[in-house]
Amino acid sequence: MDYWDIKEVVREMIPRQNVLVPVTSEGGFRKGRRAGYKEYKLFPQGWNEYKRELGGMKSAFEVSCKAAGCPSPLNLDVWDGKVCYFNCNYCFANHFRSTLYENFFDRVPDGLRHVDLGEFERELGDLMSARFQSALEKMSPEKRAIALRIPIRLGVRFENFLPQEKRDGISLHVLRLLAKYHYPVIIDTKSILLAEDEYLEAMASNPGGVVVQLSLSSANPKLLKAMEPGAPSPAERFEAARRLNEAGIRAVLRVEPFLPFLADSRSEMGEYASRAKEAGVEWMCWDSFSYSTASAVTRRLFQEARLDFDRMFLAASDSRMMTGILLYGMMENFRSLGFRCSTYDDMNSHLNEDTLCCNVTGALSGYRMNYGSTKAAEAFIHSRQGPTGWADYNTHVMKNGGFLSEELREEMWKLWNHDGNAAYGMGWLSVVPSGRDEHGLKWAPAEKNPNLERGLEVIRGN
């Protein structure tokens, strides 16, 4: 059963919407003010003005709030802004920032800011001092991550290689600093700036290794122009991937978001695969449409581009079952064409061809993963023959440097016991409950992911 067999069934379950007239945007003013406004919060003493003046960036580093699900959660963003000029209509950050940073960016003409390099160097030096230490208990989560040599990920929260970067060279300087520390780096980007000589040299000089994940959901320039109007074209991104690979920097193509019905035809994906091959790409990352991006604004932007947001979103995000089986089908298709595929999606992560879902095997040196995460727990349970309890897993994590924070340990314990955020629970992975002990559930490895198998049974009509 290949992807298009699966889609034949899915298309009969999730229909396409007809509109009466095209959805268009209108200018003009609306009720309410967006500039110079004041916001108040109610305290027991009365209303207090609430200011969101951010000032300088306090830290460019952050352990992701989704660390419980992520094996490489150490984020670094040296650029930040209200608006990214790539202007992707599915970006969760633009809409979030436009409200959060309103006051701050009232005073910043181009809407972008970056770290102060002097302060950044001091912070990086302090963090890097943790590399050879073993007493992690009193360290911040970020320092623990450095001590454990978890790769630094640039670009999870903002694009660090916009045209302003070419002018100012902030990220370039940061890449050179990280090379001095021999620290492994993963970069998420849509920019082609990294294919320029000075960036290639900065990355190639890092003995810890650098992997560049070039985000590219489709090879269709017309579709991407509608969805990512300011980003480089597919042709430019394929060419950047070729230059990176030729320079010995692994370019991973990142199909995130994967877009069923919008970018999944046999001919289009065939073209994607052949152009990726021409660019020397071997590794690919896949993931679904971010659930948290499903705001009315995002939906409207898709509709203004005459794209059926609801059909895509229901298939590629809202229904975990549909998302899992569609991703499975498309990744199997690309695997059959010789690509090595990995995903963050829990229903498919047991099939990953990489220890992290970021596709870094063989490209980074001396790195470790966040063992205190559900995916690491899944791998640990599979490495054992019998049922695994929390105590065994906890010992395993402690032997590997421990959890990145006490909060993360508590979150993981909840997820282990079917509590906490259900979207990231152990129950989505290729493990099954196999008993209880004094710490809660015990888990055993499943030969196949039970959720994926159930989804495929639905598709088969059983």
- Candidates 71, 387, 401, 455: give the one binding other proteins (CB under 8 A): 455
Distance CA 219, CA 227 (A): 13
User: Which pair of structure tokens corresponds to residue 68?
Assistant: 């419980």
Least Å from the CB of residue 350 to other proteins? 21
> Which CB, 135 or 296, lies closer to other proteins?
296
- Candidates 22, 46, 109, 118: give the one binding other proteins (CB under 8 A): 22
296 binds other proteins (CB under 8 A): yes
User: Which pair of structure tokens corresponds to residue 296?
Assistant: 């009315």
Least Å from the CB of residue 217 to other proteins? 12
In sequence order, what are the residues at sequence separation of 6 or more whose Cβ sits closer than 8 angstroms to the Cβ of residue 142? 59, 61, 62, 63, 74, 127
Least Å from the CB of residue 338 to other proteins? 26
The residue type found at 359 is N
260 binds other proteins (CB under 8 A): yes
* 195 close to 240: Cβ distance less than 8 angstroms: yes
31 binds other proteins (CB under 8 A): yes
Distance CA 13, CA 104 (A): 46
Distance CA 360, CA 208 (A): 11
> Which CB, 21 or 42, lies closer to other proteins?
21
327 binds other proteins (CB under 8 A): no
> Which CB, 333 or 352, lies closer to other proteins?
333
Dihedral (Cα; 257, 262, 265, 268), 10-degree rounding:
-70
- Candidates 6, 172, 211, 314: give the one binding other proteins (CB under 8 A): 314
> Which CB, 34 or 51, lies closer to other proteins?
34
15 binds other proteins (CB under 8 A): yes
Q: Rounded to 5 degrees, what are φ and ψ at 445?
A: -70, 145
> Which CB, 279 or 456, lies closer to other proteins?
456
User: Tokens 């897993």 appear where?
Assistant: 393
> Which CB, 75 or 220, lies closer to other proteins?
220
35 binds other proteins (CB under 8 A): no
26 binds other proteins (CB under 8 A): yes
* 99 close to 76: Cβ distance less than 8 angstroms: no
Strands 283-286 and 250-255 come out as parallel
Dihedral (Cα; 205, 244, 327, 359), 10-degree rounding:
-20
Residues 407-436 that bind other proteins (CB under 8 A): none
Least Å from the CB of residue 12 to other proteins? 6
Least Å from the CB of residue 318 to other proteins? 8
Q: How many CB atoms lie within 10 A of CB 118?
A: 8
Give the count of residues interacting with other proteins (CB under 8 A): 46
Distance CA 288, CA 301 (A): 18
Dihedral (Cα; 327, 329, 332, 333), 10-degree rounding:
-110
> Which CB, 182 or 454, lies closer to other proteins?
454
User: Tokens 């909840």 appear where?
Assistant: 414
* 206 close to 179: Cβ distance less than 8 angstroms: yes
Which span (79-87, 258-266, 369-377, 404-412) binds other proteins, by CB under 8 A?
258-266
**DSSP character string of 83-113:** --TT--TT-HHHHHHHHHTHHHHHT-TTSEE
- Candidates 113, 143, 275, 311: give the one binding other proteins (CB under 8 A): 311
Supply the DSSP symbol for 233. Answer: P
360 binds other proteins (CB under 8 A): no
12 binds other proteins (CB under 8 A): yes
Which span (25-33, 227-235, 382-390, 415-423) binds other proteins, by CB under 8 A?
25-33
User: Which pair of structure tokens corresponds to residue 231?
Assistant: 């980003």
> Which CB, 14 or 76, lies closer to other proteins?
14
Least Å from the CB of residue 256 to other proteins? 17
- Candidates 261, 286, 328, 428: give the one binding other proteins (CB under 8 A): 261
98 binds other proteins (CB under 8 A): no
109 binds other proteins (CB under 8 A): no
Q: Quick check: helix, strand or coil at residue 211?
A: strand
What is the greatest pairwise CA distance in the chain? 66
Give the interface with other proteins as residue ranges (CB under 8 A).
Answer: 7, 11-23, 26, 28-31, 259-263, 265, 296, 299-300, 303, 306-308, 310-312, 314-315, 318-322, 454-455, 457-458
